[in-house]
Structure 1
Amino acid sequence: MRNTARWAATLGLTATAVCGPLMGAALATPAAPASLYAPSALVLTAGHGESAATVTPERAVTLTCAPKASGTHPVAADACAELRGADGDFDALKSKDGVLCTKQYDPVVVTVEGVWQGKRVSYERTFGNECVKNSYGASVFAF
């Protein structure tokens, strides 16, 4: 009886020593995702000219909208709210009401590159002048 108890104790301790670390790994929770939000990070540029292919950007800002608005964009929170309202569609952005701009033609090209809610974004638009650019999309292109 003594040998049986000794063998049972030895076998139990050996099993605990060998299988214990394996059980701890099996019971550990899976790695949490890095973020619960799809990435939304954009680089917006602006420069004078007809198209992005012929224009050197004069200004550039970054805009991150998830999990919170940040970046070098001067009104990041407002710009992110407008983009969320338009579901990330830059063509769906509306101009501000009541803004009067001259009809002087001094084209300004705006480009947007990056990721919006996990999807690749590449956008380019030419505005008639700086005033029109700043009124369009209220906050998004006002930089």
Structure 2
Amino acid sequence: MRNTARWAATLGLTAAAVCGPLATAAPAAPGPAPASLYAPSALVLTVAHGESAALAAPERAVTLVCAPGAGASGTHPAAGEACAELRAAQGDFDALASADNMMCTREYDPVVVTVDGVWRGQRVSYERTYSNECVKSSLGASVFAF
């Protein structure tokens, strides 16, 4: 019995010398379980006056979180409606429905919107310049209404 204990101690020391100090360390505890099995949808939207995002400073910015979870959240004032519009357009900002009853002037005062984040687990980066605020508001009525 005495030799068995010495033999086990020798094997432990040999393993530590050959494999390094981690060979005798206890395994790490598993991390926390994911909060949801659904892919996240979280976006940052900005609005600025100018022809491109590179040349214009954002005037307004909001966050929009559509998943995971049952409802929409973030700082967007119409988060529920905006998430519903994006779901209907399958996350395609160019496919957002337009308001048919809006009449806009033809003045040129460019407004640029940007979207960065994740939609259903996929990275999203979007930029579009509208000819004026009215035209911007006529497309995607809730998404860009902030």
Fold conserved between structures, TM > 0.5: yes
State the superposition RMSD in angstroms.
Answer: 1.1
Q: Report which of the two structures shows the higher radius of gyration computed on alpha carbons.
A: 1
Match of 2:119 among 107, 116, 119: 116
Match of 1:132 among 119, 122, 135: 135
Report the equivalent of 2:51: 50
Report the equivalent of 1:64: 65
Contact 1:95 1:136 in 2 (8 A): yes
Matched, 1:39 2:40: yes
Contact 1:41 1:114 in 2 (8 A): yes
User: Aligned AA for 2:59?
Assistant: E
1:32 shift after superposition: 4.5
1:95 shift after superposition: 1.2
Q: How many residues align?
A: 113
Moved more, 31-40 or 87-96: 31-40
Moved more, 31-40 or 112-121: 31-40
TM score, norm. by length of structure 2: 0.75
1:37 shift after superposition: 1.8
CA distance in 1, matches of 2:54, 2:34: 39
CA deviations on 1:54-91 (whole Å, 9 max, x unpaired) are 01000000000012201111100000000000100001
TM score, norm. by length of structure 1: 0.76
Q: Return 5+ residue gaps in structure 2 as ranges.
A: 1-31
CA distance in 2, matches of 1:96, 1:139: 10
CA distance in 2, matches of 1:63, 1:133: 18
Matched, 1:106 2:94: no
